[in-house]
A = this chain, B = another copy of it.
Amino acid sequence: MSQRLAHFIDGRRTALDAHRSGAVFNPSTGAQSAEVALASKADTEHAIASSQAAFESWSQVTPLKRSRVLFRFKALLEAHSDEIARLIANEHGKVLSDAKGELTRGIEVVEFACGMPHLQKGEHSLNVGSGVDCWTLMQPLGVCAGITPFNFPAMVPLWMFPIAIAAGNSFVLKPSEKDPSSTLRIAELFSEAGLPDGVLNVVNGDREAVDTLLTDPRVQAVSFVGSTPVAEYIYATASQHGKRVQALGGAKNHMVIMPDADLDQAVEALMGAAYGSAGERCMAISVAVPVGEETATRLRDRLLAKLDTLRVGESITDGSDHDMGPLVTREHLEKVSGYIAQGEQEGAELVRDGRAFDNGSDGYFIGGTLFDHVHPGMRIHREEIFGPVLSIVRAASFDAAVGLINDHEFGNGTAIFTRDGDCARQFCERIQVGMVGVNVPIPVPMAFHSFGGWKRSLFGALHVHGQDGVRFYTRMKTVTARWPSGLRESTNQFSMPTH
């Protein structure tokens, strides 16, 4: 029997008016596992009002005391990491070890946010003019909103609200309605750590909730991670309503393999980066760019060998994890399958067809897929597939590889595999991409650095987490001060005769 998932508002799970709901499935079995309430405009406004009220007192708590709640939150997340990872795996479909990895990366942002007393410092200048000082206060904004995708139900929310809240804001989070359980559990644990009610509210919902968040005047800032069309909509709409926005969109990440690369290392990395989490990562590598025909041939041969041993199956097993689980929904499975068909039509060579995969279950499985001889014009190169489909685009030279990537509309992540310092350095300087790996396939920056792409992969000036995250969630106030002389001089004048 399916569970009913509500929102998390004012420190407790609550369904509010619950006129509408959505279904949550276990992608490994295809069975519905829960019904999730979808917030109406009124529900969302209720959550905003709660966060607005909570902001008044939370913003008055000192950064040091706020950070102490974060310290406890981190400890609780670690204590419940198995439980949370299982919630992720069951609703998203990624394998358990991957779910744990996701959570760990999220916990690292909590760790970073524990440093808020230091991070939230302003600057101070003595004597900008004679007897005039100037300093800055970095104050919280008020109610901030986060809208997050299904593919990292724990990590992506944790990129946002720990920093926002440690800085003194309150937060309304709208996670993906496809796999909300881990997000709700995380919010519950923050509450258990001592976070006052209403500082973090979670509303499940769809476009109705989103539009409410984008237009409500009480919401000061919006952080979004998702596809580019939606990111654009979020950025334009929330901006039009005067909010500060950071909206992260889609990706098409290329890995360049130079002739001198350690090919074993590169192939190993590529397998994980292309097929891990069934390719449902905005930092997944979906295009391999071997430089030179010989490199291409060697790469292809080794990939094929590796694909023969790729273990696909349920997210949670009794024994050791599979390499890759199912896709998140039946609809998404069909979309990915459609792309494979599209690739064939466009003339790419379908070297390995994952559609053939069948493990007898009703889960949303597809096998690891490989295209060769893909060309820039093709839709399978232009668009984000978000599935376990790797394309080989052969480049005749280093410059051609760089040009290929710089011509693409997305600029989220990329990588180069080489031993050569010059190649790596040139690549890093010239590539029009926000996150670059040198022999690192998925260069997701650590929590104390910032995550963000270029071009149509990110809208807004500030990246997510790290110092940029702190800047995003604070408002700068600049004070300039001098004082009239008076008391001091009067006590001095008074004393004159006595000396």
Binding site for B on A (CB under 8 A): 60, 62-64, 67, 71, 74-75, 108, 111-112, 114-115, 117-139, 221, 232, 235-236, 239-240, 242, 244-245, 258-262, 265, 291-292, 396-400, 418-426, 428-429, 433-440, 443-452, 454, 456, 459-463, 467-468, 471-472, 475-489, 491-492, 494-496, 498-499
B461 in contact with A471 (CB, 8 Å): yes
**A399 neighbours in B (Cβ, 8 Å):** 492, 495
Pick from B64, B134, B137, B235: contact of A445, CB under 8 Å: B134
Q: How far is the CA of A126 from the CA of B167 in the complex (A)?
A: 12
How near does chain B come to A493, taking the closest CB pair, in angstroms?
8
Which residues on B sit within 8 Å (CB–CB) of A242? 232, 235, 456, 459
Q: Are the C-beta atoms of A480 and B440 separated by less than 8 Å? A: yes
- The smallest beta-carbon distance between A146 and chain B, in angstroms, is 15
A292: B residues at CB distance < 8 A: 491, 494-495
Cβ of A65 to closest chain B Cβ, rounded Å: 9
Decide: A483 near B421, CB < 8 A? Known: A128-B62, A397-B492, A461-B462: yes
Task: List the B side residues contacting A492 at CB < 8 Å.
Answer: 397-399
A/B interface sample: 21 pairs, CB < 8 A = A60-B130, A62-B128, A64-B128, A64-B129, A64-B446, A75-B75, A115-B118, A121-B448, A124-B136, A126-B138, A134-B449, A136-B449, A239-B245, A397-B492, A399-B495, A418-B421, A421-B421, A435-B478, A436-B479, A445-B478, A452-B476
Least Cβ–Cβ distance between A162 and chain B, in angstroms = 14
Closest to A231 in B: B242
Contacts of A446 in B (CB 8 A): 64, 117, 125, 128, 134
The smallest C-beta distance from A119 to any residue of chain B, in angstroms, reads 8
The 10 closest A-B pairs by CB, nearest first: A115-B115, A397-B495, A239-B239, A438-B481, A422-B483, A262-B484, A396-B495, A443-B480, A236-B240, A124-B124
Q: Are A117 and B125 in contact (CB under 8 A)?
A: yes
Residues of B within 8 A of A133 (CB): 425
- Residue in B121, B291, B421, B425 whose beta carbon sits within 8 Å of that of A124 in the complex: B121
A258 to B486, CA, bound (A): 12
User: A481 near B239 (CB under 8 angstroms)?
Assistant: no
Residue of B nearest to A60 (CB): B130
* Chain B residues whose CB sits within 8 angstroms of the CB of A460 once the complex forms: 244, 461
The residue from B400, B451, B484, B486 contacting A495, defined by CB atoms under 8 A apart: B400
Minimal Cβ-Cβ distance residue in B for A295 = B491
Asked if residues A124 and B137 are in contact (CB atoms below 8 Å), the reply is: yes
Q: Are B111 and A71 in contact (CB under 8 A)?
A: yes
Contacts of A454 in B (CB 8 A): 475, 477
**Which one of B62, B447, B491 lies within 8 Å of A259 (CB-CB)?**
B491
Q: What residues on B are CB-neighbors of A482 within 8 Å?
A: 438-440
A362→B446 CA distance, assembly (Å): 58
Residue in contact with A235 in the complex, picked from B120, B239, B428, B475, CB distance below 8 Å:
B239
Do A483 and B124 contact each other (CB < 8 Å), given the known contacts A135-B135, A460-B461?
no
Closest to A138 in B: B126
Check A485 against B422 for contact (C-beta < 8 Å): yes
How far apart are the CA atoms of A142 and B115 in the complex, in Å? Answer: 25
Contact A132 B440 (CB under 8 A): yes
Known: A124-B135, A440-B481. 16 other contacts (CB 8 A): A62-B128, A120-B126, A122-B123, A123-B124, A235-B242, A239-B239, A244-B460, A396-B494, A397-B492, A397-B495, A397-B496, A418-B487, A420-B488, A444-B480, A454-B477, A461-B461
A139, closest chain B residue (CB) = B126
Give Cα A456–Cα B185 distance, bound, in whole angstroms.
37
Contact of A425 with B483 in the complex, beta carbons under 8 Å:
yes
Task: Verify A114–B117 contact, CB threshold 8 A.
Answer: no
